[in-house]
């Protein structure tokens, strides 16, 4: 049979890809890759970039281009057959990756290239790829004895399986919960847009009434606006116990998966000579030591806690005075915070949303990056995609050169995993005179359009869109011609959030808001009065938000750093201890946050969630240069493009930051932007 995953098409043929294509394609590509490696090693007495690394790049690219659409579809149009095929390939990919990482002959060939006279003639990016590869060999256990190598391979296989199962349990538990509301009065407080969405969801299920789900737009609308305290409490409990022993189905309980994952990561780290997994994690990051990370987080906490305590005290006082409520629960915080925001700033999130229709925001985002970097973004029609809502665009630079393309999938739906992300569809590389144009996936979970109106985005959703597009720009605007360090490849993980968080700043400037906002019915500009209220409320509860992120970061890092095989992971003991240290509002005992903390159990952020705060220091400091020179200053934009976005992972992140900023980063701008005095 013709297999669309084996055809060398420019873009994935999503409509042609069937579950039965997946395993045969991956098996064939992995087999071909192994044969190619042996053949390349056997053909030459001495090795060079041209006769070994360049052809290996081609081999890896073929695998990536087949697996990328499969992995993506598993996240955005998940079904049982696709899931089975995806899971059948995970052990094969893991085994291949480990085998290549432990391949003595390949390791020695890379060492020989690094030691040869020709090495000095290679450019910076090529040298970085070789150094990264030598590090990866060591982190894959190439120096271990046969018994330890075999154990390393077993651990890698099992960790891959556990991560996938964790993600599936979370998706299934999220999709399974529904609550049909028969009387509209039971949803008092919910804005019309949320009611329309709930009615639309019920109709899609063939029901009459209003259907609530644990998809994030539905959940957050209830937690922010529903007057019915019991409804908020019920939904909070359902959401915060997903995929746990307290959830509705014990088949989806992630407890054992989490315990095994932490234990196996620790064992893997010790096999490689590290004391713990946190140390292993830092081997590929900017931070030099575990103490540097914990000191950084604890310093931020120390500076933020007074503000966080003040935020909570003000909320409690407001609730007591206005509503005579003295026992403030976690499921009340969002609801009363919104009431307090409206009271203090006369600012309603629903009013703000009227000015951010999704089509206007998207076009405005394109206008912002055009002004910053001279880019032109245009839509391409008749593209094969995985869902009818998906759109496809191309980016050209001011010289008219095609730089990248991207798919964008904005709205939440069943069988699509939650959250927002950018992922690599095709990476940039150069073969002869031909440049392979990078392609990105940009995925969000916004509230879909209801009726004839466009989707209206909250300002937080606008920030999310800008954030993911920042990742996309680093992937697509790269000028590095080698896959290993083009785009986001090879960028230290704690610097990878720099371009994304950096882009969020333009969502707060009058000059750029004029481009991305306009009333969805009249097109009227965002009123000055409303903008001033948004600005005044920008750092509303910033202290509480900061310590919540620090709670996640410290929990993740210390859980991996302090793990003891004798005592086990003690996940919630560790989380509770961190909460005692840095939190101001402690969740109820039944809260099972870690059971849905996909970033660290099934994403790439294990012992690395701190990267968000670390990179926020970089992004705030980088943006402060635009504040000094003008937010659309072309020279500053050009410098950011040249030193950060175009360079990929071809040099160390700190080196590139210093080239752009003229010095190492300082924490001051982050504290200032967050409204937290240093």
Q: Which residues are catalytic?
A: 468
Cα distance between residue 334 and residue 544, in whole Å: 12
Pick the closest to residue 225 from 352, 337, 343, 354 (CA basis). Answer: 337
Cα distance between residue 472 and residue 425, in whole Å: 11
Which 8-state DSSP code applies to residue 445?
E
Beta strands in 136-182 (DSSP E): 178-181
Q: How many CB atoms lie within 10 A of CB 157?
A: 18
Structural tokens at position 172: 């299934």
β-bridge partners, 434: 431
Which 8-state DSSP code applies to residue 564?
B
DSSP letters for 246-299: TSS-GGG--HHHHHHHHHHHHHHHHHTT-SSHHHHHHTTSS---HHHHHHHHHH
How far from the centroid of its chain's Cα atoms is residue 348's Cα?
A: 28
SS3 460: helix
Angle at 500 between CA 499 and CA 505, to 5 degrees: 95
Q: Are 637 and 372 in contact (CB under 8 A)?
A: yes
Cα distance between residue 216 and residue 148, in whole Å: 43
Which residue is listed with tokens 């990051």?
285
Whole-number Cα distances in Å, 194 to 120, 223, 350, 455, 480: 61, 12, 10, 11, 45
Q: How many CB atoms lie within 10 A of CB 651?
A: 19
Q: In the Cβ-directed half-sphere of 143, how many Cα atoms lie within 13 Å?
A: 9
Cα distance between residue 657 and residue 665, in whole Å: 8
Please report, in angstroms and rounded to a whole number, the separation of the first and last CA atoms in the chain: 64
């Amino acid at each position: 049979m013709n297999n669309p995953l084996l055809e060398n098409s420019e873009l994935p043929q999503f409509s042609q890809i069937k579950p039965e294509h997946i395993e045969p394609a991956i098996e064939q590509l992995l087999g071909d890759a192994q044969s190619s490696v042996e053949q390349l090693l056997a053909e030459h007495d001495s090795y060079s970039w041209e006769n070994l690394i360049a052809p290996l790049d081609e081999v890896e690219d073929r695998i990536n281009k087949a697996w990328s659409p499969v992995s993506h579809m598993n996240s955005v149009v998940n079904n049982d057959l696709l899931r089975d095929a995806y899971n059948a390939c995970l052990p094969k990919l893991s085994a291949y990756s480990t085998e290549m990482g432990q391949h003595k002959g390949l390791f020695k060939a890379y060492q020989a290239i690094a030691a040869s006279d020709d090495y000095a003639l290679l450019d910076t990016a090529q040298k970085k790829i070789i150094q990264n590869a030598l590090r990866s060999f060591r982190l894959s256990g190439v120096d271990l004895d046969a018994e330890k190598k075999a154990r390393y391979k077993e651990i890698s296989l099992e960790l891959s399986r556990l991560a996938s199962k964790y993600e599936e349990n979370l998706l299934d538990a999220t999709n399974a919960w529904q609550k049909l509301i028969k009387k509209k009065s039971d949803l008092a407080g919910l804005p019309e847009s949320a009611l329309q969405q709930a009615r639309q969801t019920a109709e899609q299920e063939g029901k009459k009434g209003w259907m609530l789900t644990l998809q994030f737009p539905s959940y957050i609308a209830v937690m922010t606006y529903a007057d019915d305290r019991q409804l908020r409490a019920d939904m909070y409990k359902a959401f915060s116990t997903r995929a746990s022993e307290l959830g509705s189905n014990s088949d989806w309980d992630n407890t054992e998966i989490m315990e095994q994952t932490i234990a196996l990561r620790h064992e893997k780290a010790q096999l490689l000579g590290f004391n713990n997994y946190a140390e292993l994690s830092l081997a590929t990051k900017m931070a030099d030591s575990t103490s540097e990370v914990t000191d950084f987080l604890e310093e931020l906490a120390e500076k933020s806690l007074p503000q966080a305590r003040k935020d909570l005290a003000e909320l409690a006082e407001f609730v007591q005075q206005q509503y005579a409520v003295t026992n403030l629960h976690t499921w009340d915080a969002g609801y009363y915070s919104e009431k307090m925001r409206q009271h203090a700033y006369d600012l309603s999130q629903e009013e703000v949303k009227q000015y951010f229709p999704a089509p206007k925001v998207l076009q405005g985002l394109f206008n912002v990056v055009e002004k910053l970097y001279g880019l032109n973004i245009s839509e391409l029609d008749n593209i094969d995609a995985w869902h009818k809502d998906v759109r496809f665009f191309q980016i050209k630079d001011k010289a008219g050169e095609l730089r990248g393309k991207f798919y964008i999938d904005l709205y939440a739906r069943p069988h699509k995993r939650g959250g927002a992300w950018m992922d690599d569809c095709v990476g940039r590389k150069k073969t002869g005179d031909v440049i392979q144009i990078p392609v990105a996936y940009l995925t969000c979970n916004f509230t879909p359009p209801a009726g004839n109106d466009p989707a209206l985005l909250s300002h937080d959703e606008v920030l999310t869109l800008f954030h993911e597009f920042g990742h996309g720009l680093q992937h697509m605007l790269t000028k590095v011609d080698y896959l290993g360090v083009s785009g986001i490849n090879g960028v230290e993980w704690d610097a990878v959030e720099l371009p994304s968080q950096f882009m969020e700043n333009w969502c707060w400037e009058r000059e750029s808001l004029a481009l991305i906002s306009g009333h969805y019915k009249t097109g009227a500009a965002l009123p000055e009065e409303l903008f001033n209220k948004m600005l005044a409320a920008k750092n509303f509860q910033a202290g509480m938000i900061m310590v919540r992120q620090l709670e996640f970061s410290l929990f993740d890092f210390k859980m991996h750093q302090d793990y003891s095989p004798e005592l086990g992971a003690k996940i919630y003991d560790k989380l509770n201890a961190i909460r005692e240290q840095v939190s101001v509002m402690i969740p109820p005992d039944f809260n099972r946050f870690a059971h849905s903390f996909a970033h660290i159990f099934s994403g790439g952020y294990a012992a690395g969630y701190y990267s968000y705060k670390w990179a926020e220091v970089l992004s705030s400091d980088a943006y402060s240069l635009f504040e000094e020179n003008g937010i659309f200053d072309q020279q500053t934009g050009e410098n950011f493009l040249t030193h950060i976005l175009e360079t990929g992972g071809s040099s160390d992140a700190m080196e590139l930051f210093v080239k752009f900023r003229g010095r190492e980063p300082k924490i001051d701008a982050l504290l200032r932007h967050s409204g937290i005095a240093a």
